[in-house]
Amino acid sequence: MERQIVIQHGEEKIAASIHYPKDDVKQEGRCKDRVPLIVICHGFVGSRIGVDRLFVKAARELAAEGNLVVRFDYIGCGESSGDYGREGIDSMIAQTRAVLDYGLSCGDIDPTRVTLIGHSLGGAIALLTSVRDRRVKKLILWSSVGYPFNDIVKITGRDVYDKAMSSGSSDYLGYEFSPVFFDSLGTYQPFQEALRFSGDVLVVHGTSDDAIPADYAFLFQKVFWMRPEGRCDKEIIFQGDHTYSTGAHRDQLLTKTKEWLNGLEAVQTDWQHWMI
């Protein structure tokens, strides 16, 4: 079952879709009567639908696996109110936490199984949110941005940034971007902050990604391995593009994501049985 909802965030309204897990999915472990929560964070000037409906397909498949899934539009994107480029990354982190608040309030959610999935800039936002919100236990990065300022300015073009800084705003694909937005991109450094997240991580990237270098996946894994706790797994999709636009690449992305989540569930259940 799916439902369209609106989450109030200050004076703005965040449009979201919630996917409920199938009733016949068998849960195991100490909290077998509760379900995992997954929140999907879209990328730069994106929406909760995703390119070629990536996030719709992902949410439905993950819900079929027994998860409660929430996908949402950041303020100024999709069906949400407000202006996307007016505020910075700090606002997007706050919005993500507001969605987590809603998801965890849905009832029967297992607080030990809360996952953020982020694509592109949404990957950086998911990581930065995870560092600041201990309720997040697992993190999945799809084609994640690693250097927000360099990566986004490369996408928009330097002229868009220069105009925003000189005149107070600039247009990109119909969105108006302020200096505040670009300044925030240079403030946050995901590779440095990754060390502060103690949960398990899955990093996925395609080798034919023209927007964000596939090398970032190896750098992220190296950084996550430097932590005193938490595992990090990596999946490189040969010839996969930034949005995994072919059927085979999308299937590989979603299959790996589901297998990784289910694999961690099995490990956790075995550990709980051993403790008993």
Q: Is residue 84 part of a domain?
A: yes
As for how many domains the chain has, the answer is 1
Report the distance separating Cα 49 and Cα 186, nearest Å. 28
Using DSSP's 3-state secondary structure scheme, residue 265 falls into helix
Q: Give the CATH number of the domain where residue 36 resides.
A: 3.40.50.1820
Residue listed under structure tokens 């073009």 = 157
Report the distance separating Cα 200 and Cα 195, nearest Å. 12
pLDDT value, residue 273:
43
Q: Is residue 177 part of a domain?
A: no
pLDDT value, residue 31:
54
pLDDT value, residue 264:
62
Q: Is residue 37 part of a domain?
A: yes
pLDDT in tens, the chain (276 residues): 999 999 999 999 999 999 999 875 555 545 567 999 999 999 999 999 999 999 999 999 999 999 999 999 999 999 999 999 998 999 999 999 999 999 999 889 999 999 999 999 999 999 999 999 999 999 999 999 999 999 999 999 999 999 999 999 999 999 999 999 999 999 999 999 999 999 999 999 999 999 999 999 999 999 999 999 999 999 999 999 999 999 999 999 999 999 999 986 554 544 444 444
Q: Is residue 197 part of a domain?
A: yes
Q: Is residue 275 part of a domain?
A: no
Using DSSP's 3-state secondary structure scheme, residue 132 falls into helix
pLDDT value, residue 26:
52
Q: Is residue 194 part of a domain?
A: yes
Q: Is 197 left (phi over 0), alpha (psi -120 to 50) or beta?
A: beta
pLDDT value, residue 22:
82
Report the distance separating Cα 106 and Cα 68, nearest Å. 9
Q: Count of CB atoms within 10 A of residue 174's CB? A: 7
Burial of 60 (0-12, 13-18, 19+ CB in 10 A): middle
Q: Cite the DSSP H helix spans in the chain.
A: 54-64, 89-104, 121-132, 148-156, 158-167, 179-187, 190-193, 215-225, 247-275
pLDDT value, residue 28:
55
According to DSSP, residue 246 is labeled S
pLDDT value, residue 200:
98
Q: Is residue 20 part of a domain?
A: yes
Q: Is residue 58 part of a domain?
A: yes
Contact (CB, 8 A) for 85 and 177: yes
Q: Count of CB atoms within 10 A of residue 269's CB? A: 15
Residue 125, domain extent: 2-147+190-266
According to DSSP, residue 230 is labeled -
